[in-house]
Structure 1
């Protein structure tokens, strides 16, 4: 889950996690170390990367670092980002390909007080809605909800509130906030605030947006395709472990997430976030990592129509299932 459109210089010191043969695979885990990156932490600590003969380095971005800056410059070989953000990057001439989508269900929704009379997208007309800013998954999700109702941002009162969703909603500065269902919604609950969420309804056609996955440049795939297949396989093993053993996964993540080890409250939150996240990571067939052609096509049309792409992008060029493990 990506938290902002731009990020900075001083990145977290990378952690080596794997075998010693071959060139390193540097993985960009966007922003602050967090339980959301647990599949990578697990794959490192359980030796899945090492077993595959991979030399993997996990690198968290700095606070003002561009989302794809390190991938573009060659500092990173892989970046964990939204499929929608990858599509946007392709429209800006970065040839990035999503080779495994983690979030099979889009993790963003509108969070409102439990007693709010906002119950469906059409109720957003004339309402004051808070979003961190006009970028990233929370904003894309808002546009998609409005489109479901046949509305545009001009039909609602959209306020850019930064990452102050809880304060803005409880302080009644807005009537609803866009946030992550597996993170922000839990923060409200833990603070004793009763809320509910309005989510995207893609119906039989699937979500109009694609969530977070593994992004790699075409050039890297051409040169190191076999390594990338091994990397995806090992990381999905880490994801499956996180799904099967959430308590153990939180324990494993203590090495990577500062302050988690000795803070019972943070451990409880991490477990709640993890348990809310993992159901979103399997499709209806129980598969991990799959890219859905229909969702990518819908997203390309939606984002172009909304003016989110600098130019039209062929969706089939933006993703591939060729690097997933063969069942």
Structure 2
């Protein structure tokens, strides 16, 4: 869900951000727009449920939920003021900050990074070190799949020269199952689910032991908007968290509500896929304690800032204290 090129139209976005701030609009205050990236998906069900069940209203805000399709880059709308919030990877946001965008994470959406190395179950590759000499498929050298591959190689003590990196677009299932590549970078609540639905046996390898130096999906706004409208930010964070709790405790309700937001979800195939995706997403929403909260991990953000500088994903180290805050949780 979070895997798209954030550099698209970046020059235009930066220009727009200079003339269309997010802090002053009364409409944006009373009815902020929350960007849920590309297409409706069960992974966004906490927002659908929060809207349908009145959690946003109870928190004191009436947002508009927006999916912007694939023709728009991840941060275009928030930079131009068309959106006031967006759900996106903390790592993608950090890279965008390094390119001049005024973005700040104000709440955790996922607590675990979903990207992993996926190989056929019959593969001789059983560890990350075993990737040496093999081909790895990724959509392209951008976004969370690319970041995850760099973490996996670093964890294994390998370099890019030790493997054959194949840019395969979003064809992970076909590429791996037909032997086009030996491994792919995929997501536990997307690609791994698709392999399961296709009854193709796989083995998943974590990209790092312990804490991954990448921050997963987070609720993001601009520093300007957060400073101008702190109560709105707190309300959105609270309602998002309430929505997550509801989805986890009542997944059948989440499916029913999401059918009003996701086209064709009532078809048998779509329902099976959505249910499997929802089941795989629940662990991502939970903190290490097993509870749900929106607290961001400052130490993980600092580790990410170091890693992204080390791997030249950012030209200079970004100050994590300026990129994230728990002030609104």
Report the TM-score when normalising by structure 2.
0.91
RMSD of aligned residue pairs (Cα, Å): 1.5
| Per-residue CA distance 1:267-290 (angstroms, 9 max, x = gap) | 121111111111111112224222
Q: Return the offset for 1:183.
A: 1.2
- What does residue 267 of structure 1 align with? 271
How far, CA to CA, are the matches of 1:323 and 1:76 in structure 2? 18
Quote the offset at 1:245 in angstroms: 1.0
**1:43 aligned to 32, 38, 50, which one?**
50
Closer, same or farther: CA 147–22 of 1 in aligned 2, 3 Å: closer
User: Distance between the aligned counterparts of 1:213 and 1:255, measured in 2?
Assistant: 24
- Confirm or deny that 1:120 pairs with 2:127: yes
| Stretch moving more, 280-289 or 304-313 | 280-289
Matched with 1:5 is 5
TM-score normalised by the chain length of structure 1: 0.92
Quote the Cα distance in structure 1 between the aligned partners of 2:29 and 2:285: 30
- CA–CA distance in structure 2, aligned partners of residues 276 and 200 of structure 1: 17
Q: Which runs of 5+ in 2 are unaligned?
A: 10-26
Distance 2:73 2:28 in 1: 30
What is the Cα deviation at residue 316 of structure 1? 1.5
What's the counterpart of residue 298 of structure 1? 303
CA–CA distance in 2 between the matches of 1:154 and 1:323? 43
1:55-70 aligned at under 5 Å gives the runs 55-70=62-77
Question: 2:229 is paired with a residue of what secondary structure?
Answer: helix
Report deviation, 1:3: 2.5
For residues 182-214 of structure 1, give each alpha carbon's deviation from its aligned partner in whole angstroms, at most 9, with x where no partner exists. 1110111111100111112342xx221110010
- Of 59, 78, 88, which aligns to 1:52? 59
**8 Å Cα contact 2:29/2:229 also seen in 1:** no
CA distance in 2: counterparts of 1:2 and 1:212, whole angstroms: 8
Aligned length: 310
Q: Does 1:29 align with 2:29?
A: no
Deviation at 1:62, TM superposition (A): 2.1
**Secondary structure of the corresponding residue to residue 182 of structure 1:** coil
Q: Which residue of 2 aligns with 1:192?
A: 199
